[in-house]
A = this chain, B = another copy of it.
Amino acid sequence: MLSAARVSDPLILHNCRLLTMDAELTDFSGGWIEITGDTITRLGMGTPPPGNRMDMGGDLIMPGMVNPHCHMSMTLFRGLGEDVDDRLFRYILPLERGLMTADLAEAGATLAAVEMIRGGVTTVADMYYFEDRIGQVIDRAGMRGIVGQTLANFEAPDHKTMDEGFARLDALADLYKDHPRITASAAPHAPYSTGIEVMERVAAWSDAHPDSPVQMHLAETKPELDWAAEQGATTVELTDRAGLLTDRLIAAHVMYPTEDDMDLIAESGTHVAYNARSNGKAGRGVAPITALRARGVQVGIATDGPMSGNTLDLFSQFAPAVMFQNIAQGTRSALLAQDVVRMATIEGAATLRMDDRIGSLEPGKQADLIRVSIRDPRQQPIYDIYSMLVYATMPTDVQATMVAGHWLMQDRTVATLDVDKTLADFLQTARLFKINMAKLDIGS
């Protein structure tokens, strides 16, 4: 087993552009940052303090990125049925019901972890099945994560009854009770696919587990709106009545809220995950992200699963995240580049209620950071560092990734997972998966 390289104490990274993402957006050229154990102890600019110094060669050091909505295991489905509008019922549910196993979920999630570490994501909120195995992957990868047991009224690959589903959730919560980097979470699929009764049961579970987040797709599709309308309410209202709109909820998508819905979301402290590429590829329109943020809602930039948005880094989300808002509002300034980087770091951390520990580079916070090369011709010149990150930086520019003071990657070599073996194992799994998919005649 590989393991994350432990730094000698204290470690000082210097000769870097230090983008702290603190409340004042402090940004040091010629900066340094001191890390003791898993914690940032000091930072500044100019001559670094003595100690175990590492020269960053002028690269950018910024907080590790937070991905608040993902289905890591679905790398197995990446690229399937791209142009099929009803993919959930034609591909995803039959595949999950017929083929998904704990081993497949783990193989898919391991590839996803490699991609995220290489793309600068240090924290992920995942919702899927067999999340005990996903937690093992995140743990082995050295990342930080939230693992969400999906609960829904369709046949699930990891439980047959709702009681079994909740038993899995309890076991998951027990398993990760004291883990320093992993938290268990309930993940009702969506209001229409979970149903009021189960949503209420999740709400009761959540009240009894106030430190666990809840993850749910919300106001994502038109059929969901129709389902709610039949009950004389909006899907957000039904979610609220079931007791799920709280500051523990990470609501993914939120494409179609009414003005009143947005007020409800804001007043309840509900958080939102913005999945720009997923929404755009699906042709679902533009989520009212700026209207939500104007109400004080914390919004993170998310990838969604790789079957929906394909890539699992946040850089790929940045330009679409802005462009959709700009197009919807007919201006260049609906969402600023610095807002996007905020949403990928400190605001994303806030959506997971982890902004006291991660999301910015400040003394006392966990040492979750990435080193990004900013010398590619494509990135020059730099008039505005946020614009450069949002519009001209690629996941392949990430040179190193650190979580809790451990290097997960240096010089683009992943330390915690064997990339070649992960890819070879994954491709073998994917080959069998394709064969079995053909047997089930799915997607045709």
A264 within 8 A of B: no
A282 contacts B by Cβ under 8 Å:
yes
Check A377 against B332 for contact (C-beta < 8 Å): no
Query: A274: CB under 8 A from chain B?
Result: no
Is A198 an interface residue when CB atoms closer than 8 A count as contact?
A: no
- Please name all residues of chain B whose beta carbon is closer than 8 Å to the beta carbon of A135 when the two chains form the complex: none
What's the Cα separation between A329 and B391 when bound, in Å?
25
Q: How far is the CB of A59 from chain B (nearest CB, A)?
A: 15
From known contacts A283-B334, A285-B330, infer whether A423 and B79 are also in contact, taking CB-CB under 8 Å: no
Question: Inside 8 A of A284's CB, which chain B residues have their CB?
Answer: 327, 330
- Are B79 and A282 in contact, CB atoms less than 8 angstroms apart? no
A381 sits at the interface (CB 8 A):
yes
Report yes or no: B319 in contact with A277, Cβ–Cβ below 8 A.
Answer: yes
CA distance A279 to B323 in the complex (A): 8
Chain B CB within 8 A of A45 CB: no
**Residues of A95-138 whose CB lies within 8 A of B:** 111, 114-115, 118-119
Interface 9-mer from A32-40, A200-208, A246-254, A308-316: A308-316
Q: In the complex, A442→B419 CA distance in Å?
A: 49
A227 to B44 Cα, complex, angstroms: 54
Flag if A283 contacts B330 (CB, 8 Å): yes
Number of copies: 2
A411 CB-CB contact with B under 8 Å = no
Q: A29-63, CB under 8 A of B: which get 1 and which 0?
A: 00000000000000000000000000000000000
| Contact residues in B for A331 (Cβ distance below 8 Å) | 85, 283
In the bound complex, how far is the Cα of B316 from the Cα of A395, in angstroms? 12
CB proximity of A311 to chain B, nearest CB, Å: 6
A427 within 8 A of B: yes
**Interface pair B82/A377, CB less than 8 Å apart:** no
How many residues on A have C-beta within 8 angstroms of the other chain's C-beta atoms?
66
Nearest CB to that of A326 among chain B residues?
B283
Distance, CA A343 to CA B178, complexed state (A)? 53
| A153 proximal to B (CB < 8 A) | no
Once the chains bind, are A281 and B319 in contact (CB under 8 Å)?
A: yes
Tell me whether A166 is interfacial, beta carbon within 8 Å: no
CB under 8 Å from chain B, chain A span 321-342: 322-324, 326-327, 329-334, 336-337
What's the Cα separation between A279 and B396 when bound, in Å? Answer: 25
One of A19-27, A168-176, A382-390 contacting the partner: A382-390
Partner of A280, one of B82, B327, B392: B327
- Is the CB–CB distance between B378 and A423 below 8 Å? no
Kindly state whether residue A380 has any CB partner on chain B within 8 Å: yes
Question: Are B283 and A381 neighbours in the complex by a CB distance under 8 Å?
Answer: no
Q: In the assembled complex, which residues on chain B have CB atoms less than 8 Å from the CB atom of A311?
A: 378, 391-392
In this assembly, does A426 line the interface, its C-beta being within 8 Å of a C-beta of chain B?
A: yes
How far apart are A92's CB and chain B's nearest CB, in angstroms? 13
Chain B residue with the shortest CB-CB distance to A317? B319
Contacts of A382 in B (CB 8 A): 79
A93 at the interface (CB under 8 A from B): no
Min CB gap A328→B, angstroms: 8
Assess whether A193 is interfacial by the CB under 8 Å rule.
no
- Let me know if A67 is at the binding interface, CB within 8 A: no
Chain A to chain B contacts (Cβ below 8 Å), 24 pairs: A75-B380, A78-B392, A79-B387, A82-B332, A82-B391, A85-B331, A114-B377, A118-B378, A277-B391, A280-B324, A281-B323, A281-B332, A281-B391, A283-B326, A283-B329, A284-B330, A285-B327, A311-B391, A313-B378, A319-B320, A324-B327, A380-B423, A380-B426, A383-B434
Given contacts A79-B388, A310-B319, A311-B392, could you give 17 more A-B pairs where the C-beta distance is less than 8 Å?
A: A78-B383, A79-B383, A82-B336, A83-B333, A84-B332, A111-B377, A279-B327, A281-B322, A281-B323, A281-B391, A283-B329, A285-B327, A311-B391, A377-B422, A377-B423, A378-B395, A381-B426
Sorted nearest first, the 6 A-B pairs with minimum C-beta distance are: A280-B323, A283-B326, A310-B391, A83-B333, A381-B430, A79-B383
